[in-house]
Amino acid sequence: MIRLHSFSIEFHVRFYHAYDNYMTYAFPHDELKPLTKGFTNSLSELGNLKLENLPQEYSGSALTLIESLSSLVVFGNHSEFEKAVLWLSENLTFDVDARVNLFECNIRVLGGLVSAHILATDSANRLVQGTYKNQLLHLAGDLGRRFLPAFSTPTGLPYAWVNLKHGVMENETTETSTSGCGSLILEMGALSRLTGDTTFESAALNALHKLWGMRSSLNLLGTTLDVETGRWIEYSSGIGAGVDSFYEYLFKAHILFGKEEYWQMFQSAYVAVQKYFRHGPWYHEADMRNGKATYWQLTSLQAFWPGLQVMVGDISAANSSHREFFSVWKKFGVIPERYLLDHQMLHPTEKYYPLRPELAESTFYLYQATKDPWYIEVGEAMVNSLNRYAKVEGGFASIRDVTTMELEDHQHSFFLAEMCKYLYLLFDDSFLLSQNYIFTTEAHPLPVQSEWHERLPDAYIPTNWTYLKSREPTRRASAMSLRMCPETLLSMRQKEQPAESVCHIPDARIDHICFSDDDCGVDSTTCRRRSCSIAGYCGLWLFT
């Protein structure tokens, strides 16, 4: 307990080292340059690798402050939260000539404002008493309305880029990502529930429906597509960049809004991932059309996956993958952006580490589920690495090359929104006591509340504390279909062989003898249906 407390205090200090330097040297601009103690107006650059069409007059929207709002509440600094809310209420405007990435602006700015509004109006927190009159919600509504022109396409799939003042620019690119179309529902859905204006949720849901309709017969989706034609541009896909938060938002939308269709989509998508992308503890990429492997690589964004697996109850698989990600972290001191699994080497041009939080996120969820002290040791190792390699006098700097630990003059806003929050909660989760929150992909908390549900889900796992209706489950069903963790399923089937993963359905007999295919289950590793051989044994005979 003393050990946890000391690390929570230490990371409390680290958060304010990043936050105070931002407020001193960069505020009200978007992000801090920690090496030169300067700033960048980077909201219009997020996701824009070519840095085209950058506005000349745009001078920032206090992006890092918006991203820090929910972190301030988690850290218990109500006075600084109130001060920030009042400043934004009086000074922030979105009537600016700035072309922004819809996905990035949605998860960072809209999500930050919606979450902070909920926290500011939560009577249990006693925040901004008497001075807050829904100003953040008004700002969020204004921003949401500025998003809507992006959805005016023949398909309903949104453009990746939209100008906050002028809408979609002439000759705007029609290429976007799966995440860019399918990861808008939490923030825009919450905005609709708070304002009573269904336009935002309808636009996001329509795009999600269209995207899901573009999946292959294998229930796989590609990475990039054209919003005007509805055609895929890149067929190779995985669980990393361009598609990662799509899977995350399907599950979390089911928890937040209680819609059964989100669960059905997620269940199909998850089983397809386990079947076609998984290779032992690793996840390669594959062609959505035939499931054949394309790229054997680890990317730092994939490290969110174990955390999602914890939430759906697949703890064994989550632990296995998490340990492999952490082995790469230990090898380099941080986790590189891209690591080639087939060659066991770094990608030659993507050796950087921009302070990404996904491994810390999964570590937090796994510790919440298991209380295994090993995950505390992982968190300590991550804190020590950040202190050793990224901490500078002016904040925390990104790492340009993990082989030399050369630094980049950039402190991303998500470092304060995600990395600091997840590592602090790993050591001190008192913020979560008696609360049920879903964290967005940017770690902004949204409360799970019955009034937002069309109907309550039969079961949900906010941080893997499972609630189940008292009913006898179907005898031979997977943990996935029953929405419970394999360990729970096993305890309810004490005389049967264990369920090893969420898609696993054990064979009818422990000795695997069968009389028909009906006696055979679903393989735990490949998620493929087993069949009965001529000799009378269950196996993957059709696939050998």
**Residues in the annotated binding site for Ca(2+):** 441
Q: Which residues contact 154 (CB under 8 A, 6 or more apart)?
A: 228, 229, 230
Active site residue 406: no
CA distances from 261 to 50, 181, 305, 361 (A): 37, 17, 21, 26
Active site residue 324: no
Q: Which residues contact 514 (CB under 8 A, 6 or more apart)?
A: 507, 508, 520, 532, 536, 537, 538
- Tokens 């304002």, located at residue: 195
Active site residue 201: no
Nearest-angstrom CA–CA distance, 246 and 225? 14
**Set 30, 67, 104, 361: catalytic member:** 104
**Set 201, 358, 408, 523: catalytic member:** 358
**Set 67, 337, 428, 523: catalytic member:** 337
Bridge partner residues of 423 (DSSP): none
Nearest-angstrom CA–CA distance, 193 and 201? 8
Cβ proximity of 73 and 83 under 8 Å: no
Active site residue 67: no
Nearest-angstrom CA–CA distance, 318 and 434? 25
Nearest-angstrom CA–CA distance, 218 and 207? 20
**Set 30, 45, 187, 244: catalytic member:** 244
Half-sphere exposure of 57 (CA within 13 A, CB side): 5
Q: Which residues contact 129 (CB under 8 A, 6 or more apart)?
A: none
Encoded tokens for 498 = 């264990």
State the catalytic residues.
Answer: 104, 244, 337, 358
